Amino acid sequence: MKEALKILIAGAISESAPDFKGNILVEIPEKKENGDYATNVAFILSKIVHRPPQEIAENLAVELVKQKSSDFFKIEAKNGFINFFLSEEHLYIELSEILKKKKKYGCASNPSSLKLRRTNEIHLDFISANPTGPLTMGNGRGGFYGDALANILETRGNKVFREYYVNDRGEQILTLGRSVKLAQGGSSISQTIPANASSVSEIDEENLYKGEYINKLAEKIGKKLNESEAGQKAAALILKTYIKPALKKSGIKFDAWFSEKSLYPSSPRLRRASKYEEIMRELMEKDLIYEKDGATWFKTTQFGDSEDRVLIKKTGDETYFMSDILYHFDKIKTRKFSKAIDIWGADHHGYAPRLIAALKALDIPEDKLEIITMQLVRLIKNGKEFKISKRAGNFITLEELINEVGLDAARFFFLLYSPNTHMDFDIALAKERSQKNPVYYVQYAHARITSILQKAHPTGGHPKGEKFKLLKEKEELNLIKKLAEFPEILNDISKNYEVHRLPRYAMELAGEFHNFYEKHRVINEDKNLTAARLSLIAATKIILANALGLLGISAPDKM
RNA sequence: GCGCCUGUAGUGAAACGGAUAUCACGACUGCCUUCGAAGCAGUUAAUGGAGGUUCGAAUCCUCCCGGGCGCACCA
């Protein structure tokens, strides 16, 4: 509706101010007396045509009324705004659409041809936590967000490829191996440090991974392996026995697991064929690479980064930055995704400029990569901050979180807040309050509807050919309006990634339903009215279940 | 020091530059002989501070005060 309205307004404007090119803003006013939709174009136009906003609004309103759209019963100019009031006719059409399309309501039609699908394929990289320990509840926040965002993007006709990037090489895998060796005892730490260890911190026990899981891994891993081998083995085990099961339990789905190691083929022949050489050659040709202190540097400052970055360390090993260039090149150029969306923890945000710089250097258009940063979840215990650190073994795992508060409550809780929100999380408080989690409010509405539908028609189904015109009450119309907002919410989220608007919408919808329920009986003496109201709540049930489903939350029939 | 994020009722949070700042929890009043009271109706209470831009600022700009994160040849 919003989009249709924008076109309608644009048409009316072109009459009076043909050179207007600005964006037309259509919003849903907070106060119902200001209409179902409103636009502020008159304020914008007033600057161009130098007339008072209210006068322009009045003229436009007259123009709009002339269009005789059956969707509105009233279009008025008020305080410079133009307010639109939806007609009941329009609402009844929406209602029957919901009942007809069911789960498909609000979904953009899927491009049917393969070619089209391909151009709409989005790559989503999320969680991608290092395989050096179990997933934490902080990883869960990003995980739930990514999962729900993918679901929502898919309703707009995009195909979303969900990938977990596994950092299975590099320094932290060595550290992991070292941690395991230490836990195994036998060889002392001093024997396992590399001969060329240059700084004290490299052998500092503080930097090793701790926690019970290290001891468990130590038992499973052969003592004969060296640090590097033990690290590799441990990472693989962590992925298999901690990360994947936790994701399964969380209902977070992935299409693929991308190994960082695979970016560096071991055989020289494969390596020659890989993009590694191609990219290095390109950068060299562009004179963007130089040697300093025995390392190979990338002139990222030429593309807006604050300093140049190392690609190959003096040890000859590639940095994580090198891997990330290869990985993003692979996603965008080799696999040709139309867009890559990365969801990062805020602790990595400082890394973004160099990656953006690198892609720019490789002539990859800026809009191909979008980085969403999730602010961190601070852990509070007994009123004090509890520093989360995998290395120190201080963390609450995703599995623990789900066991304590339940999956539905955990998902709803995290999804309710914008990625920019810094969250403090007290597990004791969360457990105590989980009973009050608004997710139950939404689920309760769903269960209540199911119960009524069952009572009316124990065998299932309900009569066709409802007389929607009988739905005249304010609460009934408000409920339909809220239902009709659903596609717009999905549309907005697919553009601005504000996933938190969906759980909030679900709460509002449940609220409109409860409101209606309190004032009007669904099952009553009037057979036709009963049928119409049953249809109304059946439609509500569809949207509630759909919204919850996109969030990865169950819609129970009983609770 | 520099960069990113952030400061809204007692608490946790919403609000694409729009109209009387919204929701939940808490506290206080009411509402179950009729479809599920995990509900409904009502009361309470808020934009860190000072300037500026704008017809209009929680939102944009400047400064000040607070909080989180980052500033590696770790990821």
Domains for chain A: give ranges and CATH numbers.
2-86 (3.30.1360.70), 93-101+437-550 (1.10.730.10), 125-374 (3.40.50.620)
DSSP state of A125: E
Which residues 18 to 37 of A reach strand B, CB within 7 A? 25, 27-31, 33-35
Strand, coil or helix: A296: strand
Report residues 480-519 of A contacting strand B, contact meaning Cβ closer than 7 Å: 498, 500-501, 504, 507, 511, 514-515, 517-518
Q: Residue A444, CB, less than 7 Å from strand B? A: yes
Please state, in angstroms and rounded to a whole number, the distance separating the CA atoms of residues A512 and A246: 36
- The pairing of strands A339-345 and A369-374 is parallel
Q: What b-and-e string marks burial along A367-390, b requiring 16 or more CB atoms within 10 Å of the CB?
A: ebbebbbbbebebbeeeeebebeb
The nucleotide whose C1' lies nearest the CA of A451 is B36
| Residues of chain A scoring pLDDT < 50 | 113-114, 187-203
Q: What is the spatial distance between Cα A39 and Cα A20, in angstroms, rounded to a whole number?
A: 15
Q: What is the pLDDT of residue A67?
A: 84
Residue nearest to nucleotide B56 (CA to C1'): A43
pLDDT at residue A462, as a whole number: 60
Question: Nearest residue to B3, CA vs C1'?
Answer: A350
Question: Could you give the dihedral angle defined by the CA atoms of residues A56, A62, A63 and A68, in that order, rounded to the nearest 10 degrees?
Answer: 150
Cβ atoms A178, A147 nearer than 8 A: no
- Return chain A residues 132..161 having CB < 7 Å to nucleic acid strand B: none
Sheet holding A72-78, edge to edge: A26-27, A37-39, A81-86, A72-78
Q: What is the spatial distance, in angstroms and rounded to an integer, between the CA atom of A100 and the C1' atom of B26?
A: 43
pLDDT at position A191, please? 42
Strand B–CB A394 distance below 7 A: no
Six-digit token string for A237:
């085990």
pLDDT for A511 = 96
| Strand B proximal to A171 Cβ, under 7 A | yes
Q: How far is the CA of A482 from the C1' of B11 (A)?
A: 29
Which strands sit side by side in the sheet containing A369-374, from one edge to the other?
A: A256-259, A159-166, A121-125, A339-345, A369-374
What Rg do the C-alpha atoms of chain A give, in angstroms? 29
Closest nucleotide to A421: CA versus each C1' = B6
CB atoms within 10 A of CB A38: 20
Burial-class residue A515 by CB neighbours within 10 Å (0-12, 13-18, 19+).
Answer: middle
Alpha carbon of A383 to those of A387, A428, A544: distances in Å? Answer: 13, 10, 36
Q: Which amino acid is it at A501?
A: R
Q: What pLDDT is stored for residue A116 in this prediction?
A: 53
Distance CA A167, CA A264 (A): 12
CA A443 to C1' B10, in angstroms, rounded, equals 29
- Bridge partners (DSSP) of residue A341 are A124, A370
Q: Give the closest nucleotide to A26 (alpha carbon vs C1').
A: B16
Check if residue A440 sits with its Cβ under 7 angstroms from strand B: yes
Q: CA at A320, C1' at B20: how many angstroms apart?
A: 54
What's chain A's length in residues? 559
- Report the distance from CA of residue A208 to the C1' of nucleotide B73 in Å, as an integer: 20
Strand B positions within 7 A of protein Cβ atoms: 2-6, 12-16, 18-26, 34-41, 55-56, 67-75
The span from the CA of A195 to the CA of A142, in Å, is 39
Q: What is the pTM of this model?
A: 0.93
